[in-house]
Amino acid sequence: MPLINKSKKRKIILVTGGAGFIGSNIVEKLLQLGEKVIVFDNLSTGKKENLRIFLKNPNFSLFLGDLRNQKEIEKAVKKSDYILHQAASPSVRRSILDPKSTFETNVLGTLNLLVAAKKYKVKKLVYASSCSVYGPTKILPNKEDISPNPISPYALSKFTGEKLCQTFSKIYGLSTICLRYFNVFGPRQNPYSEYAAVIPKFVSAFLRNKKPIIYGSGQQTRDFIYVENVVDVNLKALYSKFNKGETFNIACGKQTSLLEVICILNNIFTRKVKPHFKKERPGDIEYSYANILKAKDELGYVPKVSFENGLKMTIEWFIQYEQKTKDKN
């Protein structure tokens, strides 16, 4: 039974960045629940193949457009009741190389979306923020009430997006909520981009019998969260009482070092692979570890899939994906 719909008229949910890794997983869940879904994406980092299984679903529609274009985003927003804003230029490293493009997409794009949401009286907007807003902090685990210290253009752009949501809630009464994602991984994550995240890069290296690359000592930690957990909490946030841009950490509440990840992968693959170490990169945070009590208490969030189980399911997906890619070629 649909989670959002309480009347006979079906609500329409807009997912920006719906062709991307997290967005497409959200779209899949919403369609399974019988919701009507609009995806807005420019396919700069998202893939149309992530949407192929939805194209014949009568509850699915796709708008190809760019958040930086106000007219294009308004065409999608005016048909929508709710927004799950997943679209972003998502890389710390890319933001350091091209801060202007990152801010145009993540800040101007979010502003354009909020302006359209206000204009067309959207019922609620859920904003996908990032743990990178915390920056390097000695206070662990990270709690939502500590002062952010973003140290990359990407982190600053996501923090600015939070502030925009809070401002639109306070001044215009637009209902918003902000989810600070920690290190999300799972099916449909791209391992081949030069900006790819650590889990898909490591898994891809193991599948290709190559040494995974670690930037730094490998002692740095991350709070990894399987994408299914992120999908579930987006739905909880959407129909929660919170509407003033409140922030919530979305993670498993457990830190794992990169060396531990290699060890777990060695156990799964029954190998003894040693990583290749390279110099640490600017903008990377040494320790990332979330306090998730607020999300548990206020949103009823429980990370149902553990890191280890999520990793096994991710590996299975990548094996199937690699096989499909070979069959096509």
Active site residues: 154
Write the CB contacts of 279 (distance below 8 Å, at least 6 apart in sequence).
215, 216
Closest among 116, 87, 111 to 163, alpha carbons compared = 111
Closest among 231, 229, 235, 237 to 298, alpha carbons compared = 237
31: left (phi over 0), alpha (psi -120 to 50) or beta: alpha
Which residue, chain included where needed, has tokens 């306070």? 170
Q: How far apart are CA 30 and CA 23, in angstroms?
A: 11
Q: Is 322 helix (H, G, I), strand (E, B) or coil?
A: helix
What are the angstrom distances between the C-alpha of 67 and each of 17, 44, 74, 87? 10, 11, 9, 8
Q: How far apart are CA 86 and CA 250, in angstroms?
A: 14
Q: How far apart are CA 205 and CA 307, in angstroms?
A: 19
Q: 41 forms bridges with which residues in the sheet?
A: 64
Q: How far apart are CA 233 and CA 226, in angstroms?
A: 12
What are the angstrom distances between the C-alpha of 185 and each of 45, 197, 248, 314? 16, 8, 18, 8
